[in-house]
Amino acid sequence: MTPAQARNFLYSAQQALNRIEALPFPVIAKINGFALGGGLEIALACDIRICSDKSVLGLPEVGLGIIPAAGGTQRLTKIVGQGVAKYLIMTAKRMDAKEALHKSVVNEVIPHDELDTRIEELAKQMINLGPVALAAAKRSIEVALAERLTPGLEIELNNAVECFQSSDLREGMRAFIEKRPPNYEGE
């Protein structure tokens, strides 16, 4: 992609996840298997994240020469704090479900064969709560950190577009497709 195409694509991804995050009702992410890169970024836009004990989560983008740019750098930081977010993103670490729970990336880990039942129970529990109060609680909680999200997303977008112009991105993508370790030159 050209830098302009990359910006448009990533901006569209950010906006799609902003729409999920802005829904006036609670959104539950059911993570059943791999949630890497964009998959985890979608889950981070949800209010609650429940995963099976067989799940693997991570933001491996820096291993491809890019950054998580659909809101991943911003939302993960807001959820787990700067230190943990830097560690997870800057190492391209993949976590099993237990570690994701320990680092507060997810809210619950459920045995694989009980995941659907737990999600249904949680949804039924929330449906029986006051919808006006749920929406108000969600809006109120989000205000605590939302003031800095928009400028952070813009910075994330600019940094990602810069990555799209690098030869490291092309090398990272080629290495991924060729199933080999990348040979980055820092350009």
- Alpha helices (runs of H) in the chain, residue ranges in sequence order: 3-22, 38-44, 72-80, 82-90, 97-102, 115-127, 131-146, 149-164, 167-177
Q: 12 in the Ramachandran plot: left (φ > 0), alpha (ψ -120 to 50) or beta?
A: alpha
The radius of gyration computed from the CA coordinates of the chain, to the nearest angstrom, equals: 17
Enzyme catalytic residues: 41, 61
Alpha carbons 63 and 81: distance in angstroms, whole number: 21
